[in-house]
A and B are shown apart, each in its own frame.
Chain A
Amino acid sequence: MNEQLKSFLDGEMDSVNSIEFEKLLGETPSLLNEAEDFRLLSATLKTVDFGTPYGMEELQAKLNSKQTIQASNKSLWRRAWLFSGSMVGALLVIAIMFPVFAQSKSAAKRTQLLAMQRRDKSSADSLAMPASPMPGDAEMTKSPSAGVASADATVESAPVAASPMVEAKSMPSESGKVEFERNMSQFQASPSSTPPVVGPPDTPAGIYVERQGDIQVKVDNLLQTVDLVTGIAKSLDGFIVSSNVSRKEDGGEAVVVFRVPTSNFATAMTKLQQTGEVLSLNNSSQDITGETVDNTSRMFSWADEEQRLIEELKKAKGNDKWRIRAELNQVRANLEAYRASVKSLRDRAKYSTITANFVSGDTGTGNSSWAKDSLKGATGGLSEIGRILGSITIYVLVLSPIWLPFVIVGLIIRSRNRG
């Protein structure tokens, strides 16, 4: 209770407690005596003279000069920090943008490949524009009634130089045209004719081009990719020639060879590029027009010969019949060989061959789990962060001659201000 005495004397006690304490003070002589001593002591302490204060004018002068210096120092310090902050910010932006830039470079390369692909396609489209057909470029369609080939051939021009035999049979003259039509009708009517040779609908008139594409793509899952490519081939009216998937310790490889109509070649290549990261891409074209025209002309020639022998056979008597029949068999054999050759050539021009090579670190056998994928992703992320931090550190260290003086000057100014 006595501890309250000083606060009572100093007026720091609230009114309720003051009344109670005053009552107690009146009843307790020793406490009253103590209070008197405290009052005296306090009064003495309050009369202490500290001496005349000095230094106010000096302080005001210091404040005047200090304000100016401080303002300039503050400004300099602020500028130094602003510059340092800007530098660090710029470095951070560079460090962050660097991987993005690298990715964009890769994307640009890919875009370039796509553009190349588009150019190829457009050139193919331009080649596919209607042009004057050649004798050997007869549009053949299957006749629904007869079930045999019906050829609709016209001899308007012969832009491609053919062999002498072709020239003899398919000259762009009126008589030649008539003769060619006759030969074609004989060819259609021939009982030994093979199934019709269906010409490519978009084959450039007069030009036969065989296209091939090779692509190597890095993918995540081989089996899924092979299924995807099979789907692509089917959707583009193509077919799989061969498919091979092999597993290795460090991943796997799949090779898919498929053929699609030449009109869909560019689309197929584009879709293949979208299956993963393109490692290599190669397009090639081979002009087989000359060979096709040559063989077609020979085929018509043999057909003509066959017709002539048939006429002779009708008129022949005795042993001549056997001789002519043997000769006819030989002619027909040659004719069939040329028909097959022409069909093959036209197929090569109609369908393009694409060889897709897929490589992967994962064979896609289903062994991979979400945990493995997560671990792989997290490890990749960690290494990426480490790489970014490393890049930042390198940038900061390399550029230290630029920012370090500012920081040192700033620190000196700051320490002076504090001092």
Chain B
Amino acid sequence: MMLLVQEKATRTARLDIDQLVRDHYNQVFQFCSLRVGYHHAGDAAQESFLIAQRSLSKFRGESKPLTWLLGIAHNECRRMNRVAKREEPLPEFQTTGSSEANLVDRQVLRLALAGLSVEHREVVVMHEMDGLTYEEIATILSVPVGTVKSRLYHAFLNLRKCLQTSMEVQS
């Protein structure tokens, strides 16, 4: 009887972690890619899910599963950067989409992001690229929502300033 119950519990946990992988792997990968680089993002994402699997019983459901996963990924990326003794790398990306969006050159955007502080850059990445709400960012970073708002506004001001400067230089 005990074995049956244990097997059922294992199966339930298994289903849950599989579901999480299916639903959120891409988002976690992107999140990690912006922090540890595309080449290490696979390891970081996998390790984050393995940690999530071990900690699945501790998840109380107070936040969204994605927020919880990104919190784990955030810590894991920090750990990996610390172990590798490297600064948080600049995001490697290319812009796609409308012509209006392409008005901003990706290299310029990369440099503008590089000019931001770590705190400002991470809220920009989380909000604009990962699509997290202010509250979710506050949960992951363990800071008040007001701090997130303030950081995001000043990050955008700095980005705007950098981009304007670079465009002036180009023109």
Contact = CB atoms under 8 A, between A and B. Distances in A.
- For B129, B153, B163, the residue with the greatest tally of chain A CB atoms inside 10 Å of its CB is B153
A55 B45 contact: yes
A38 interface: yes
A6 B49 contact: no
B160 A51 contact: no
Given A6-B152, A56-B25, 16 more contacts: A3-B149, A10-B134, A12-B133, A40-B103, A43-B98, A44-B95, A44-B101, A44-B102, A46-B129, A49-B93, A53-B33, A53-B42, A59-B50, A62-B50, A67-B53, A71-B10
B134 A7 contact: yes
Interface stretch (B14-22, B58-66, B67-75): B14-22
Nearest to A46: B128
Interface string A1-33: 011111100101000000000000000000000
B91 A48 contact: yes
B25 A53 contact: yes
A5 B129 CA distance: 19
Contact of A63 (B18, B93, B104): B18
A41 B127 CA distance: 12
A43 B101 contact: yes
Contact of B163 (A2, A41, A49, A51): A41
A70 to B, nearest CB: 7
Contacts of A10: 127, 134, 152
A53 B129 contact: no
Contacts of B50: 59, 62-63, 66
B52 to A, nearest CB: 10
A227 interface: no
A37 interface: yes
A43 B94 CA distance: 13
Interface of B: 10, 14, 17-18, 21, 25-26, 29-30, 33-34, 38, 41-43, 45-46, 49-50, 53-54, 91-98, 100-104, 109, 124, 127-129, 131, 133-134, 149-150, 152-153, 156, 159-160, 163
Nearest to B30: A50
Nearest to A70: B54
A45 B152 contact: no
A243 interface: no
Contact of A50 (B43, B93, B101, B134): B93
A370 interface: no
Contacts of A67: 10, 14, 53
Given A3-B149, A37-B160, A51 B128 contact: no
A290 B26 CA distance: 115
4 nearest A-B pairs in the assembled complex, by CB-CB distance: A55-B42, A47-B97, A53-B29, A45-B128
A42 B45 contact: no
A285 B27 CA distance: 101
Contact of B149 (A6, A49, A55): A6
Contacts of A54: 29, 42
Contacts of A51: 33, 38, 92-93
Most chain B C-beta atoms within 10 Å of own C-beta, residue among A7, A42, A47, A70 = A47
A34 interface: yes
A48 B93 contact: yes
A7 B98 CA distance: 24
B104 A40 contact: yes
Contacts of B152: 6-7, 10
A43 B156 contact: no
B160 A34 contact: yes
A58 interface: yes
